[in-house]
Amino acid sequence: MTNYFIEYNKTAARILRYSGKDYNDLGKYEDCLNIKAEDFNYILATIPKAFPIPISLGICVPAICTTEDFNQAKSYLIQEINEYIPEIF
């Protein structure tokens, strides 16, 4: 998958541009699905019971990304979220 990001160097910029960036930011759904150069999918990630108010985030990712890719990144993502949460509240 790393080779994919190297070959298509605009991929990371598109992920950042079309994904949500803050608490309950759903990103740019239609813009994500309308990217012509590459095939992207929109994912709505929700943490329903971790806090008094559910947290949702829209994520625009290349279609090449699989569930296994997300499962491998969970520990990193959870660590980053835990560091960011105190800044929100």
pLDDT tens readout for residues 32-71: 888 876 788 888 888 777 677 778 888 888 888 877 887 7
- What is the amino acid identity at position 49? K
Q: What is the pLDDT of residue 36?
A: 74
Residue 73 and residue 1: Cα distance in Å, rounded?
Answer: 13
Give buried/exposed letters for 8-43 (b at 16+ CB in 10 A, else e).
eeebeebbeebbbeeeeeebbeeebeebeeeebebe
- pLDDT surpasses 70 at 2: no
Question: 12-21, 26-35, 36-45, 67-76 — which one is most confidently predicted on average?
Answer: 26-35
What gap in Å lies between CA 70 and CA 45, rounded to an integer?
11
